[in-house]
């Protein structure tokens, strides 16, 4: 039986645990107040994981032109690179057994930052690094939705991240997990892909076509190869922001399904709302809400199964400002 639990990894300090070098935390209010209602978080502090105490001396990434090292800031002779790399390999492998659907990391951290982490070289610091744990996470699990705590304050990045988590969870529920990849079957793949056609069109029309071709030639693949390639392509496609133009094209595509059912006045109303969204006067939620209203009056099986119309629980209110 499939699990309905949505497992998401997270830097322990972002969840409010006092594990930082100064005994503090970096609690994210959106995580604490909203996402904890929907996800089961698996907190990790890599620095505590390798045995460092709380509090502890600050650590940083340095470059000596041959490698990136993780060292104590005031005493670079204390080198934690090898222990961190070993811990990261083991911990990420362990986390992969929990069917992770996402991961929230701590920005700027020399262990958990996913981008623009300071790397010290001689007398300067360049924001070009990736935390050692985050690097291992994204290397072992390149399909996994990963986001930094600070970037969750951006409504577009927040919505995109959460929608990817729910999509990956749906994929596992519908198609199976890694341990079941050899048993993947065409019917489940086609049903899943069909639900995400409009979503993919909104995010990346090119990848929408490529993934559709993969599904059409499903029987040409080894089951495990299809599972990994499709999952990776799906998640990479959804990392692209759903642009206003792409969203408008999708909404107009949906509009075409109602051309024989709606009255002239209803058609004009839907066209006006879509146009108002296109020019930025309304959020995308406005035409989607109207479409859902028309779907209640004029049911359509294909549209009603589309995750584009409801990619996550409405209670999260993520489309209000898009």
Q: What's the confidence (pLDDT) of residue 315?
A: 94
Neighbours of 174 (CB within 10 A): 14
| pTM of the predicted model as reported, rounded to 2 decimal places | 0.96
Q: Which residue has the tokens 């133009």?
A: 245
Q: What's the confidence (pLDDT) of residue 248?
A: 98
Each as own residue / partner, the long-range contacts of residues 186-194 (CB below 8 Å, 24 or more positions apart, any chain) are 186/218, 186/219, 189/215, 189/218, 189/226, 189/230, 190/215, 190/218, 194/302, 194/305
Q: Rg of the chain over CA atoms, in angstroms? A: 22
58 vs 53: CA distance, rounded Å: 11
Q: What's the order of all strands across the beta sheet hosting 117-121?
A: 68-72, 59-63, 117-121, 124-129
Q: What is the pLDDT of residues 31-68, one digit of tens each?
A: 999 999 999 999 999 999 999 999 999 999 999 778 89
Q: What is the pLDDT of residues 96-141, one digit of tens each?
A: 999 999 999 999 999 999 999 999 998 789 999 999 999 999 999 9
Q: What is the pLDDT of residues 300-312, one digit of tens each?
A: 999 999 999 999 9
């Amino acid at each position: 039986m499939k699990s309905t639990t949505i497992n998401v990894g997270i830097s322990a300090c972002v969840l409010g645990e006092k594990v930082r070098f100064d005994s503090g935390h970096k609690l994210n209010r959106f995580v604490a107040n909203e996402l904890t209602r929907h996800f089961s978080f698996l907190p990790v502090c890599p620095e505590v994981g390798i045995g460092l105490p709380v509090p502890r001396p600050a650590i940083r990434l340095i470059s000596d032109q041959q490698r990136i090292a993780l060292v104590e800031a005031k005493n670079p002779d204390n080198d934690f690179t090898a222990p961190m790399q070993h811990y990261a390999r083991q911990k990420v492998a362990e986390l992969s057994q929990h069917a992770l659907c996402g991961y929230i990391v701590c920005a700027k951290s020399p262990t958990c930052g996913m981008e623009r982490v300071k790397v010290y070289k001689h007398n300067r610091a360049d924001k070009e690094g990736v935390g050692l744990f985050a690097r291992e996470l994204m290397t072992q699990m390149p399909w996994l939705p990963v986001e930094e705590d600070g970037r969750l304050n951006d409504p577009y990045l927040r919505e995109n991240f959460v929608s990817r988590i729910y999509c990956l969870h749906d994929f596992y529920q519908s198609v199976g997990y890694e341990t079941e990849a050899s048993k993947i079957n065409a019917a489940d793949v086609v049903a899943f892909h069909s639900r995400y056609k409009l979503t993919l069109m909104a995010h990346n029309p090119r990848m929408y076509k490529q993934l559709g071709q993969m599904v059409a030639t499903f029987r040409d693949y080894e089951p495990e190869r299809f599972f990994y390639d499709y999952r990776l392509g799906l998640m990479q496609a959804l990392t692209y922001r759903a642009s206003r133009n792409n969203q408008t094209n999708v909404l107009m595509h949906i509009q075409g399904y109602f051309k024989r059912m709606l009255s002239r006045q209803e058609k004009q109303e839907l066209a006006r709302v879509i146009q108002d969204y296109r020019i930025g006067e309304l959020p995308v939620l406005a035409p989607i809400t109207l479409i859902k209203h028309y779907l209640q009056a004029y049911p359509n099986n294909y549209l009603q199964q589309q995750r584009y119309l409801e990619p996550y629980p409405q209670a999260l209110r993520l489309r209000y400002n898009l």
